[in-house]
């Protein structure tokens, strides 16, 4: 399943948040939540997460940096179950890694959904654009 768009939701005091309907996959009530890149979390269906593991399995095991990444990639992966209100529970460890406090942006990112702190997402986009000296049009060249 492919994902796009963004939705904001609020965390409750226990670290639960409702998974927006547009990012739910029919017939799936368990997802994999993992540490993402750039300061967010990644949410996958189990099938999508298995695909990432298959890619990693095919990488050379004799490279130290790849072994480290494989360990880190699986270290934070957590199965999360939808409850009756379609909420998932985010562990304190993952909340802290992504700096999630109250409001969370669910951002579709093709094969996964990213969970961002709204301010962190805005800062990331601004800093990336400034550091790279790129415009949206520059980046969009991949579509040509």
pLDDT higher than threshold 90 for residue 70: no
Closest CA to 107 of 31, 5, 39, 23: 5
The pLDDT assigned to 47 comes to 94
The pLDDT assigned to 64 comes to 87
Q: How confident is the model at residue 58 (pLDDT cuts 50, 70, 90)?
A: confident
Alpha carbon distance 114, 94 (integer Å): 13
The pLDDT assigned to 142 comes to 64
Per-residue pLDDT tens over the stretch 20-56: 999 998 889 999 999 999 999 999 999 999 999 988 8
Mean pLDDT of 77-99: 96
pLDDT higher than threshold 70 for residue 59: yes
User: Architecture of 6-116 per CATH?
Assistant: 3-Layer(aba) Sandwich (3.40)
**Model-level pTM?**
0.87
CB 42 within 8 A of CB 51: no
Q: Which of 46-55, 64-73, 79-88 has the highest mean pLDDT?
A: 79-88
- Measured in Å, how far apart are the chain's first and last C-alpha atoms? 23
């Amino acid at each position: 399943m492919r994902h796009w768009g963004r939705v904001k939701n609020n965390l409750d005091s226990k670290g639960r948040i409702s998974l927006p309907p547009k990012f739910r996959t029919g017939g799936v009530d368990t997802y994999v939540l993992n540490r993402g890149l750039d300061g967010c979390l990644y949410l996958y269906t189990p099938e999508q997460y298995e695909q990432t593991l298959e890619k990693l399995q095919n990488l050379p095991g004799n490279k130290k940096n790849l072994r480290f990444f494989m360990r880190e990639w699986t270290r934070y992966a957590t199965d999360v179950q939808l409850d009756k209100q379609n909420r998932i529970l985010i562990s304190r460890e993952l909340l802290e890694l992504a700096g999630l406090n109250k409001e969370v942006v669910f951002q579709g990112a093709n094969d996964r959904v990213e969970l961002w702190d709204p301010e962190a997402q805005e800062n990331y986009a601004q800093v990336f654009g400034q550091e790279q000296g790129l415009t949206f049009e520059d980046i969009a060249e991949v579509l040509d």
